[in-house]
């Protein structure tokens, strides 16, 4: 993520003090929104009444541009930051083609989403659309409050009962509010004025499944920023994501139905 708002009242030495604080706050703004950044699921929905839990980690590579010193001082970049946030998601089948999910991230963010499989559930192929909303609060100083709205299209094919590749593409919108002293070195004051931060997120992964239904997932993702909010103190930066997750085993595969 990139810090955006220059502060004309800062001394040059403030650049050294700003960097760690911006790094931490930028990380939280990026990751604390409850819907998370990783995808870690195929397009298949759970059968009615079934529940599944996914636990994983994501390594995120990103950069943070320090834009708050006087403009005559070159911006500093802290790059990369290797972040391993906990990914915890629980999904529940509502019908054989609709399920709902709740995601917890770092214990400070929570979100919910609905996923709909557009194809018959007995098919090996699945094509799903999903959308939701998530929020988080980080109570440092005067606090940072985050709202994230994701929408995603996912496709997957069960090539074998144990092997399902999948791909997904979606849009994420994020708004962050932070009340802080803008004259203070490392101020985190931020107030969105419009569409918030927006980025396209693309994912490719594989699910390796046991006969019990338990599975391990490996995933690569890419964040591509497309819009910035002039009121935000932090901007998303292009990032790579490398994720691994373990999943409990409710629900048979299409090949076993």
User: CA distances (Å), 79 to each of 32, 84, 237, 239, in order?
Assistant: 20, 15, 11, 11
Band of pLDDT at residue 257, cut at 50, 70 and 90? low
Q: Give percent of the chain above pLDDT 70.
A: 65
pLDDT digits (tens, 9 = 90+) for 85-97: 678 899 999 999 9
Please indicate whether residue 18 or residue 230 has the higher confidence score (pLDDT): 230
Q: CA 234, CA 232: separation in Å to the nearest integer?
A: 5
Phi, psi dihedral angles at 236 (to 5 degrees): -65, 150
Q: Give percent of the chain above pLDDT 90.
A: 39
Residue 82's pLDDT is what?
52
When mean pLDDT is compared across 147-156, 187-196, 202-211, the lowest value belongs to: 187-196
∠ CA 168-162-53, rounded to 5°: 65
Residue 206's pLDDT is what?
98
Q: CA 231, CA 40: separation in Å to the nearest integer?
A: 32
Band of pLDDT at residue 187, cut at 50, 70 and 90? low
Highest mean pLDDT among 71-85, 132-146, 171-185: 132-146
Residue 213's pLDDT is what?
85
Tell me what the pLDDT averaged over the chain comes to. Answer: 76
Q: CA 20, CA 83: separation in Å to the nearest integer?
A: 14
> Is pLDDT above 90 for 124?
yes
Q: Number of helices (H) and strands (E), helices first, in the chain?
A: 1, 14
Which domains can be identified in the chain, with CATH numbers? 2-256 (2.40.160)
Strand arrangement, sheet containing 64-66: 76-78, 64-66, 2-3, 234-235
Residue 196's pLDDT is what?
80
* Torsion 44-50-51-54 (CA) sign: negative
Tell me the Cα Rg of the chain. 20
> Is pLDDT above 90 for 29?
no
Residue 27's pLDDT is what?
53
> Is pLDDT above 50 for 15?
no
Residue 160's pLDDT is what?
95
Residues facing 57 on adjacent strands: 86, 244
CB 240 within 8 A of CB 220: yes
């Amino acid at each position: 993520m990139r810090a955006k708002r220059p502060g004309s009242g800062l001394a040059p030495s403030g650049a050294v003090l700003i960097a760690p604080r911006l790094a931490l706050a930028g990380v939280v703004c990026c990751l604390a929104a409850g819907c998370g950044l990783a995808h870690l699921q195929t397009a298949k929905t759970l059968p009615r009444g079934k529940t599944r839990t996914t636990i994983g980690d994501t390594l995120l590579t990103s950069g943070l541009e320090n834009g708050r010193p006087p403009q005559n001082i070159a911006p500093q970049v802290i790059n990369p930051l290797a972040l391993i946030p906990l990914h915890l998601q629980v999904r529940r089948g509502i019908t054989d083609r609709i399920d709902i999910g709740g995601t917890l991230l770092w214990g400070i963010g929570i979100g919910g989403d609905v996923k709909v499989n557009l194809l018959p559930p007995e098919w090996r192929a699945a094509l799903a659309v999903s959308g939701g909303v998530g929020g988080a609060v980080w109570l440092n100083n005067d606090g940072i409050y985050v709202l994230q709205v994701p929408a995603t299209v996912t496709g997957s094919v069960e090539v074998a009962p144990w092997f399902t590749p999948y791909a997904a593409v979606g849009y994420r919108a994020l708004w962050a509010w932070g009340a802080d002293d803008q004259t203070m070195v490392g101020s985190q004051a931020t107030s969105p004025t419009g569409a918030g931060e927006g980025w396209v997120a693309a994912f490719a992964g594989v699910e390796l499944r046991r006969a019990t239904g338990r599975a391990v997932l490996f995933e690569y993702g890419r964040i591509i920023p497309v819009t910035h909010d002039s009121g935000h103190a932090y901007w998303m930066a292009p990032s790579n994501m490398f994720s691994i997750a373990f999943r409990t085993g409710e629900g048979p595969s299409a090949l076993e139905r």
